[in-house]
Each structure stands twice: as C-alpha cells, then as structure tokens.
Chains A and B, each alone.
Chain A
C-alpha cells in the first residue's frame, strides 16, 4: 500500500505541475489554433493524466480525460477547428479535471463529482466538428473505435487451441515488425496497432502471458526503431544534444510503460493502445528539453529549518561585528587585531552569501501566480462582454515562496476589479476614441530590496470626487473628512471595507470585500500600495513587496532610553524638523511635508514610554508608508540601519498591539520590532502629548536645600575619595562614592539618586574613566550630566581624550579643596535654584 501511496504522490505532483502550464497554453491556443506544438503539449497533458489515472484505478478521472483526449486528438489531426465554443468546453473539462485531482489529493478517491455532463458536451463538440459522424464512438479517433471494431476483427482467442494461439502470436509478431519498419520510415500514429487489440477479458492465464510477451517484444522493437529514427532526425539539427541526453530518456520511459500492462493486463484494455504513444511523447518532450533536468524536490519544511538556522547565524554575525568594534577600540594598534578583522569580515561575508543562497532556494518565479491570469481574463471578458487583452511582463522575477502564496489572492481581486470597473464596454471605448480592446498590463520587476508588481489598465480611471461621494453615502467617511482629502487619499478609499462603486452586486464584484482583502494581505507582507489614476486614461496600481519575510532590513530608532526596530520596507524617508514646524489641527499633530500634510504621532505615546528628560528643539520624523496610507512617527534619535531576524515574543506575550516581534541585537540586547500596520491603527486613538513635554523633568530639577544636590565620586583610591569628600562636605551636598566605573554605572542605573555631577578618576580597574564617560553618554537621560575628570594624567592627549569622551572639566591632581569646590559649584549651578 505504501508503494501505491508513493506512486500516487508522484502522480499528483506531476499532474499539478502539468496543469499549471495548461491554462496558459490553452488561452494561447485560442489565439493560435493552428499551433501544432501547443496542441501537442496540451494533448500530452490529458494523455499522461489519463494513462496514470487508469493505472491508479481512478475511473472517473480516466473517463473524463479519455474524452478530452479524443477531442484534442481530433484537433491535433486537423479534424476539428478550435473556436471559442469548443474552448469553453475544453476549459470546463480542465476545471473538472483539476477538481478531481484536488479531490484525489484530499480524499484519495475521485468519486463524488459528476463528469457525465461535461463528457456529453465534449462528445457533442467532437461530433460537431465531424460533420458526418453521428456517434462519438465512430469518430476517427484512436481510442474510441477500439471497443467497437475489436469484435469484428479480433480472432476469438477463447476458442483457439494452443497451436492456433501460437500461430496467431506468430502472425501478430510478423505484423508488428512490419509496422515497426513502417514507423521508421514515416512517423505514423500507431493507430493500426490499436485496432487489432485482442480481447483480454476472454483470455486464459496462459494466453495473457503470451500476449504480454508479445507486447513486450513489440515495444522493444518499436523503441529500437524509434530511437534509431530519433537519432537520425535530431542529429543534423542539434548536434550538441546527441551524446547523452537523447539516450537517457529511453530507459526511463520504457519500464514505466511496461509496468502498466503487466500489472493490470486484464482490465487495462484501454490503456494498452495508448502506451506506445505515451512513451513517444515523453521522449519528444525530454529530448526537446535538452536533457535531464537538474533539480531535486526538497520538502519546504527543510528549507524553513535551514532559513531559521541562517537567522541565528546572522544574529551571531551581528554580535561578532559589534564585539570586534569594541575590541578594536580597546586594543588599538595591536597586531592580532588585523587577523581578527580578517576573520570577522570573512565570516560576515560568507554569512551574507549563505543567506542570499538559502533565500534563493526559496525563490519562485512570480510566473507561477501570473499563469492563471490569462485564463481568468479570458473568462471574465466573455462573462462581461468586454474585449480585454492581458500583457504580462517580468514573469521570471523571483520572490520568496511564502510571498508567492500570499500574493495570488490580492492580484486576483485587483485584476477582477480592473476588468469589471476599469475597462469600459467596447462601444464606450470606441466613443471615447480608444481602441475597442482594453488592455491590462501585469508587470513584475525588482526595485532594491523590493519586488514591484504593477497592474495597469487603460480603462476609465478613478474619479476622486465620485469616490468621496460614494464613501459619504455609505457612511465610510464624513463630509468633513472628504473635504480634507487629497486625490491620493481619495483613491485609497477603495480599500475601505464595505466600499463599492458597483451599482449592483454581480458575480464578479460589488460586495465591497475584494479590495479590503488586497490591503490586508499586502499589509501582512509589509508591502505598500501606490495608486495612480487619471479619469479617462486608466489606473495604475503598484504593489511594493519586500523580497523575504524572515530576515529584514530595519531602521533602528531611539526614544528616551529605549530602542525600536522599524521594518525598512515601510520607511519612506526620515526628516529632521524643529518643534515649531509641528502644528495642531483638531487635537492632532501634523506637519507639512512638501505639498502634503502628514499626521504625526510620537513613538513614546504609542508605546507608553516615560518621558524623563526634555528632548532637544529638534525632532526626527520617520515617514512610514504602508499599503496606501502614510504617517509620521516622531522619535528622539535615529540609530541606523541593521539587518534583523524576526523572533516571536512567545506564547506568553503574543498579540501585543503594535509589536510584530523582537530581535536580538549585536550587543545581546532585545529590541522590539514595530508592527507598522497596527501602529497606524493605534495612532488614530492615541492622545497626543507632542509639544506638552513632561513637567516631570523640571520637577526633579527643583532644589530646595543644599542636600538636594547630589554628586558622585568615582575613584579606586580610598585616600583620593576621602580628599574629595572632605573638599566638598562644606557645601552640604549629598555625596555618593563608587570604587570603579562598573559600580558607578550600576549606581547610576539604579536611579536611587538624581545626580547633578560626577567626579571621575581616569585610572581605575575594571572600567576606566573614559569608558565610563562614554557609557554614561550613551544614555539620553545623562546627556546633560556634567562629568568632571579628576586625574594625575596631565598630558594634552589625555585632556583631548577626556573631551572626546564627554567630560566637561579636567582637574589635575594635586588640586586645592577650594578649586575643586568651585568647579563643582559651577557645574551643578549651586545656589542658583535656592
């Protein structure tokens, strides 16, 4: 049974692959009905599926494909002209075939679907093509006559003696050989072979054996003959292909075709005649394809696992780079640095290459999705009575498998929409001076780290005023909102749930669901939608989608002491503005960005960040775009761009609004990733605090007595600390001591005290003064905390380093107590507040 399962799986995979190409070919066939290559290709699909399904005992599928094959074979022989009506029936049967295959995949059986209606139609069309023929069975097709003619011509094996059977076999052999020779001369269909098919049902076991022997022999003879013929034919045209590829397919196809009759000799009467041609067609396609295909099938799960591992590697690489930077700073000029540098750059280079390589294995051409559209357009244009042409470009553009899966639905909706609402009826088009045939262009191309899919129609275009009017009618927006809308924003209305311009619901559109689906799916992929339209000229819709989902480029931003990662795919630009460029309109903060009004939201308001210190006069605005909407996100600092790996926050914290996940940074810390779609939703309800910067910071600054001032002394020598303490005690300020940089930093982080100044020794174990100063300045909160170096290092270089690391004063030991006191007093603005 397992073996059967395996064969079944192979069959299904093969069948679905064949079908994918089929739709495209069929639509092409309608425009070029005389293309024999195309016809042959389509015929082969029906044929292959029929052969395999009869072997696997899928009778319904066999029945259907058999009749399809009949019809196609007639067309192939020029007995039938394929027009739109015939095509409709063929397409219908193909759909049915697909449905059957899906059923087999899901349920393991092909019953439950009625094919008789379709089969009847297939037959009628076949007859229509053949004027004199009344019944299908006598149509001049290979398979059909078997059943009928068999009884006339076939000798009755059951009544023969052994000797007679022997003689009969001899006769058949001779006939076969003659045929084989005939075949070598002209590439004739083995129609005759089929006609003399013996009646297997009436045979005894021995007879069946003999018959099988006969068929085997016959096949071998044919194969040899054909191979010889092939080599002859191909040699002059394609000399490069002679050597290996041509010979290889033969042994492959041979066992396949032989297995079929042996395993099911008795009931397989209908398969047997088809097998010779099947092997031939296989050989055809194989030798045409230029040899053995260089691919293997891999389970997607394995690729996903590989991708996850690469993700970890990327994080490790980021970490390594960060450590390398730190080491470089610390041991400047040391010889081993060079080596370390080399290793780090090689590792990061290889990691990047590896990542790209693995990503590529997951890439599929977008043609996989595009393939179904020619068929769709054809059906729609017939249904809507419009003439529509589809132009496809860039179907080779590749993108990640998961995205290919997600992009199909949105495209279907957009294209349906273009057909239904965009393209006008022929007369209207003619009246407005356009060609009668409407055109929809479907293009895909790369743009940086994105793939752009563009759908352009030359229909009537979007009318911004009409869209607004409809939206108001449907209660989607208020009149006031409508007035404030730009043209582009108005175009965006078509994505609102419940919006529809169609006067009535048709089978194609009008329910107001489709475009909402488009928006949701594109947002899920972190993509953007851009609509351009001109009334009377047409509409262009641009979908911009990131190439992959797991490892992304992100912009890191800081707010207070927190960092957030924003997917770079959603970042349009960043601008630095001064606070007075922010206006308030109806309780919302907005700014003017070129000719647009951009609504603003502070990242701190979204993520409830405590506003401890007053930010500077300037603010950074990250302009975010998603699907068709835009928003400006105010942040305190821009850190930079980094490659991040998305990790989930786990079961316990899942579903937090505005957070898409987390990533681990080079320093080992966790940074949260902003969910831009959710953020835009949240921005609508968030209370704005921009402009009303917290009063808290000022409160902390209020000093009522000398002991409210707090100064930290950082020195590893007890004596030095005591000297400083003694010098400052007369002031009455609170003094806190730390023995080295690490401890000082910890005290600072604990936040028990609000320090007004720090006295820092340079030479200290664990963490020296410079490093401490650099660390402190990393915190926004301490940007303005005066750091005073107290040291015996008096060199100019030392002073320079002090300044570089953020020290404001530089006191050299020894010093007088008064001098120290004055410096401190000046820096903490002592008494000014009292």
Chain B
C-alpha cells in the first residue's frame, strides 16, 4: 500500500516538475493596438492600466510626450505611442487606455488605441527583430508568431529611455 502511495506521489511530483518547466518557457505578454499594428510588452513590466485621465502639457519637450499626469500622488510623464511611432494623431476613444510601464525606477504612462488580450507565448515562437533595424536603435525586442497573426514585442527599457 505504502509503495503504491509512494509511486503516486512520485508521479505527481514529476507532473509538477514538468509543469514548472513548461511555465518557464512561456512568456506572458499584454497585447495592444497602436494604429494598425498589434504590439505587446511583457506583463511584468506593466504597473497598471488605467482609463484616460487629464494631463498637463509640459513645454519644451518632443511632441510625442503629451505631458505629465497625476497617478495617486506621483507625477508621471505621459507618452503618446502613436506620435512616438510617427503615426497621425487620433482623438481618444472609449477604448483608449494608458498603460503605466515601469523599469526599475523609471515609470511612464503610454497612450495606446486599445487593448487586445493577455498572451501566453512559448519562447520558441519568438523570433528576433528584423535585420533591417539596427540593433542599438530598435525598440523591437522580438517578433512573436501565432497561428493567425504576428505580434511585435517591444523593449520596455527602450520605451522608457529619454532620447531628447
């Protein structure tokens, strides 16, 4: 009896270990649309996602930075990803969201057109960024391939980097 029990426990343990390995290989992403394209960023670099709130314009900065907004007492910069990617500006709609991303101490809010979904993607499905883009300049971390679509994964630290 105890032998049997041992076997079961062993099997269960193996199954658990196997699960762990699988989890390790999967990256969780949050997908969103800017313009026509779907982008995604690792879920762990997202502090929160909020509905649009008012912001204050800041002078003498590039136009893709809309300004600063108040997130529960912290003053945080707000960046319009459409403008950042050189797309024409659009009015905010009901689906517009601010994604607050963080990388270490750097925090900023990004305006996106709409959210799509949380994506679990195995690492092996992620390819490198296209060669045409120079390694140091690109904001693209990699390209995830799924059955019916391609998702561009962005480098959060690059997005949060001051480049003016």
Listed in ascending order, the chain A residues whose CB lies under 8 Å from chain B are 312, 315, 562, 606-609, 647-653, 656-659, 662, 664, 668-672, 750, 752
Contact = CB atoms under 8 A, between A and B. Distances in A.
Nearest to B79: A652
Contacts of B73: 312, 315, 664
B58 A656 contact: yes
B60 A658 contact: yes
Contacts of B69: 670
B77 A672 contact: no
Contacts, number: 70
B88 interface: no
B76 A656 contact: no
18 contacts: A312-B73, A607-B59, A609-B59, A649-B58, A649-B68, A650-B107, A651-B105, A651-B106, A653-B65, A653-B68, A659-B58, A662-B68, A664-B70, A668-B70, A669-B54, A670-B75, A671-B56, A672-B58
A662 B75 contact: yes
B61 A658 contact: no
A21 to B, nearest CB: 43
Contacts of B67: 670
B136 to A, nearest CB: 20
A562 B105 CA distance: 29
Nearest to B161: A652
B155 to A, nearest CB: 16
A657 B60 CA distance: 8
Contacts of B77: 649-650, 652-653
A674 to B, nearest CB: 11
A63 B152 CA distance: 73
A355 to B, nearest CB: 17
Nearest to A607: B59
A752 B65 CA distance: 21
A780 to B, nearest CB: 15
B22 interface: no
A500 B10 CA distance: 88
A721 to B, nearest CB: 21
A649 B75 contact: yes
Contact of A650 (B57, B59, B76): B76
Residue of A652, A668, A669 contacting most chain B CB atoms (<10 Å): A652
A651 B157 CA distance: 13
A54 B101 CA distance: 58
Contacts of A668: 54, 70
Contacts of B68: 649, 653, 662, 670, 672
Leading 10 A-B pairs by shortest Cβ distance: A607-B59, A670-B56, A662-B75, A652-B77, A608-B59, A647-B75, A670-B70, A670-B68, A664-B70, A653-B77
Nearest to B108: A652
Interface string B94-121: 0000000000011110000000000000
Contacts of A649: 58, 68, 75, 77
Given A652-B160, A659-B59, A670-B55, 17 more contacts: A312-B73, A562-B56, A562-B57, A606-B59, A607-B59, A609-B59, A649-B58, A650-B77, A651-B105, A651-B162, A662-B68, A662-B75, A664-B73, A668-B54, A669-B70, A671-B56, A672-B58
